[in-house]
Amino acid sequence: MIWKVKIPLKIACFTWLLANQAALTQHNLMKRGMQICSRCWFCECEVETINHLFLHCREVAKLWQIFINLRGISWTMPRNIKEALACWNRDGNQSGHRERWKIVPACIWWSIWMERNQRWFKNKSCSMQNLKLNCMVLFFFWCKHEYPQDAEDIPSILEFL
């Protein structure tokens, strides 16, 4: 599910870490003995676990919603990363561009992780609107890199998601 998706190797490795609950979220750092008061950098309400930060946070849900709305599917977020990947790929087999659809989770997760690191380590944040835009631009560049023959511009890629 992870290594066959056409994304940069670094991102595939990051996705693998998420699927194995091994990325260094605050919750995982606390389990390793680091003393921090964990809070999600997006909703500021919940402990920053992998499943919260990347799947269940109400703020992060806005990124998922972009792609879910474009495809017009109904979607209930699964419990963990592995289930989310399996369900996402299964639902993506029904119509549209299957290979592009499989890129979406890694694109969302990488966008979240980059923004979370900016907020934590550089004390900088961008608006949710800009985060959505960044995520779509990233998605476009990965699609364009992997499928240059059919990726002309962002609207056409999103139209035929």
Residues of this chain that interact with Zn ion (CB under 5 A) are 40, 42-43, 46, 57
Smallest separation, CB 31 to Zn ion (Å): 19
**Closest by alpha carbon to 6, among 73, 87, 99, 98?**
99
Cβ proximity to Zn ion: between 40 and 104 the closer is 40
Cβ proximity to Zn ion: between 57 and 63 the closer is 57
Smallest separation, CB 25 to Zn ion (Å): 11
The torsion angles phi and psi of 72, rounded to 5 degrees, stand at: 70, 35
Cβ proximity to Zn ion: between 40 and 135 the closer is 40
Q: Is 146 exposed, middle or buried (0-12, 13-18, 19+ CB in 10 A)?
A: middle
Smallest separation, CB 59 to Zn ion (Å): 6
Distances (CA, A) of 114 to 11, 73, 144, 153: 11, 27, 21, 24
Smallest separation, CB 53 to Zn ion (Å): 7
Cβ proximity to Zn ion: between 50 and 138 the closer is 50
